[in-house]
Structure 1
Amino acid sequence: MKKNRWIAALAAMVMVLAFAGCQINSDNHEHSFSKDWTSDATDHWHAATCEHTKEVSDKAAHTFGDYVSNNDATTESDGTKTRKCSVCGYEDTVIDEGSKIVATPVFSVESGAVDSGTEVTITCSTEGAKIYYTTDGTEPTASSTEYTAAISVTEAVTLKAIAVKSGMNDSAVASASYTIKGTIATPTFSVESGAVDSGTSVTISCATEGAKIYYTTDGSDPTASSTEYTAAISVTPPMTLKAIAVKSGMNNSAVASVSYTIKGTVASPEFSVASGAVNSGTKVTITCATESAKIYYTTDGTEPTAESTEYTAAISVTAAVTLKAIAVKSGMNDSAVASVSYTISSGNIPEGFVKVTGGTVTGDTKYASSGNDYIFVAGRTVTISDMYVCDHEVTQAEYKKYCKYGSSSPSSSYGVGDNYPAYYVNWYDAVVYCNLRSIDECLTPAYKIGEETDPAKWSGIVGDATNGYCGPSSSNSTWDELTYDKEADGYRLPTEAEWEYIAREEGTSTTTYSGSDTIDDVAWYSSNSSSKTHEVKGKNANSLDIYDMSGNVYEWCYDWYGSVTSSTADTGASAGSSRVQRGGAWRYDASHCAVSYRNYSSPSHRSGIYGGYGFRVVRSVN
């Protein structure tokens, strides 16, 4: 009995072991299951991991939440919605035709401060969608403005946009707000560009409140990474300062720039003639050892400044004078004032002139020439006063200092250059030159129209102080009434009697031409001139050391042309229509060059195309 109980217990244990493990070919065991869920559209379960794969555990229907749209707000939605089992995670997807949504529009520029005129584009990723927008902050609809081109932002604005497509829900509203950037005021420097003293302090400021200033000292353009300005900058070596101003939300300022050099001192001017007594007409030059420095001077003893007369040419000393001068150059300190004083030596002769001693000439047939009238006629007595006579005909360089040409100008065809005689000059032009030069050299002008001696104020004058003056180009009755002051010490034309007295070497010579009976020695005329004028003083002088009294160009005299009698005044006829010319010219034959030959022309005539009329000046010795 006892034995049978043990057998029964042993059998029971075997049965237990058989069900505890999964044995091949046994349908009666405890199955093992996966921890992961297996699912289908409706249920989920744990599937067996043994050979009995059809066995499942914990099978149950899914537990779903609500359907949720899975689209990005900026991309279109095709209506797909998803719900998920809260137990196994199974996703159930459906298409809701009524939930299709157009992608939200996108702006090319984010909200914020922009430059005026910034172009903003609006795009939508949904193909075929149309975009509508507003600029006043209101909500856009399909009735709003349709977007067709970039929008230019020129003032503060809020852009709102939607995208619309048939068969889909409208997009969400997209929005961007813009303000216009201001531009920061350009920095300013306390010291302008130029030469400064070493150690000069320069401050930089900006009118835009709260802006920061950045600068460079090497000439490179500054940025917000350059040195920030915090205190005055000391200029010790030459430098170029550049600065910008920067402030958040505003455009950077323009770059401001200044350049500094360190000042030196200009060398003092030097005068070519030391103080003391000098001949009247002495030329004084002023120089400065500092290259490119300009010299300014005074003649009245006052201190010169950069507002005084600028020195451009030698100064002719014709009266007692004190000259003072300074030299000035940008970027340097002005020189010290230099000074000289001159007096005029009694009896000294102006430079370029010859003193001719006067005398009394009694008319005689010895002064006559065959076939031509003459001025020292029998019975006429002419008194000639002492005078200074220019030893050459007025040159082109001398003429253009005061005058311009009224018609043609000298050319290479008839001779051109500083030392060639001035030609294309009428009688009116010559008297203008005389008075302008006299005024410039502080002499008393010899000629008046009415009571006026300044040609710039004469009615009918042509030109200006910058380009020079000339007289009328046609006969002018007012100018014809011009009077001559015999007591004046200024420049003037010789009278006809004076001219011949000079040509005859103070009345002592009876040679055919001035200085010789051989014309080629003393004159340029038609046979040797090559049809043009020549530089003055190119032939021999007469015994007074005066050149070209015969030939080169005809020389105007003061007198009206007319017949001369024993009663004719020393200054010639009292009226007429032509003025006297003497001496002949390059284009005329030898007879015109004789000292007794008289020629005449209208005072307005400048010798047409030929350039044969010039002049010589004299001054009375007072």
Structure 2
Amino acid sequence: MKRITSILLLLTTILSSILFTACGHECTLAEGWRNNTTSHWHACTDPDCTKQTDLANHTWDVGVITKRATQEAPGVKTFVCTECMYQKTQNVAFQGLTEEEWNTALSSDLFINFTCSERTVLKKSGMEIVSIMTYEFEQGKGKITETIAGETASTLLPLENLSGYRQAIWMYLRMMTDYQDYYYEARSKSYKLKGVFTVPTYEVPVDTASVKFKNGRLSEISYTCKVTVEGTIYYLTSTINVTNYDTTKIS
């Protein structure tokens, strides 16, 4: 029994010696927090001491959007630990333009120097007619180019009518792009029709329609509809592309 007691005392002495050797002093703690991706703590500043005091997991705030998502790139939401101020971020998927952003992209101020081209395909059994109408606008210049059945003709717009043509094209685009008529489809990165509108040119309701934006500006409108001419139904597909904002040059 005495031998067992002696062994236990010896082990206790050795263990105490190890503990005091590891950190046998009162730590001097750093003023600021040390941290990693999951936790934070106060570190001892004394040489060869690795003791961590007040070790705890981060406590995150609700986060704020620090970079808005766009159709071209995801946004960023930043979270901050309320104790040590460590930050983490996560990507935020684009959910579509707000009504304000939509209307800004369609502001008439943007439609000064641009190109608008509409390609229309008119079909019925055994027949297809393709036409392309292109409007180009530069400061003080304008041109219409029309292609039907492979034949192309261009006409410079008279200066006195230039603003009227420009306004008419903008209004034509605007009549087909009411924010309330569309919802965003992430898969196709486009806005699909959920409402109803009438095609100004043909005064018929559309069957389908979609709108696309690029870099915060309108880039494409496409729609399908049926047009009746002298009792014959034609199936029409139209794609309008708006390009060369601020860079259109008329030769």
TM norm. shorter chain > 0.5: no
Bigger proportion of residues as helix: 2
Bigger proportion of residues as strand: 2
Higher relative contact order (CA 8 A, sep 6+): 2
TM-score, normalization by structure 1: 0.16
